Amino acid sequence: MSKRTKAEVEEMVEDDEFDTDDGDYGFLIDREGNLKTMFCPDDITRDTKIPSSVKRIMKIFKIHDIDQLDAGMLH
């Protein structure tokens, strides 16, 4: 995946190309590198197989259990 310029990202948002689905994962990170929020599929449970790439990102931010997200860990 290639890095997009700020202008390319803004164009994607304006054109609705930056569309998310109910099954998507997303991470919002501030300019200091802090995780502001994370979203994941609504139907995710403790038994859901989470993709390894998502697990690696969660590990970086010390999220070891998906239930941590329901505990108000993020703002």
pLDDT in tens, 19-62: 778 888 989 899 999 998 888 888 888 788 999 999 999 999 99
Query: What predicted TM-score, i.e. pTM, was given to this entire model?
Result: 0.65
| Higher per-residue confidence, 17 vs 65 | 65
The answer as to whether 58 is a domain residue is yes
The answer as to whether 30 is a domain residue is yes
When divided into structural domains, the chain yields a total of 1
The answer as to whether 1 is a domain residue is no
Backbone angles phi and psi of 38, in degrees to 5: -140, 140
The answer as to whether 12 is a domain residue is no
The answer as to whether 38 is a domain residue is yes
Q: Which domain holds residue 45?
A: 21-71
Query: What is d(CA 38, CA 69) in angstroms, rounded to the nearest whole number?
Result: 8
The answer as to whether 10 is a domain residue is no
The answer as to whether 25 is a domain residue is yes
The answer as to whether 2 is a domain residue is no
Q: What is the pLDDT of residue 17?
A: 60
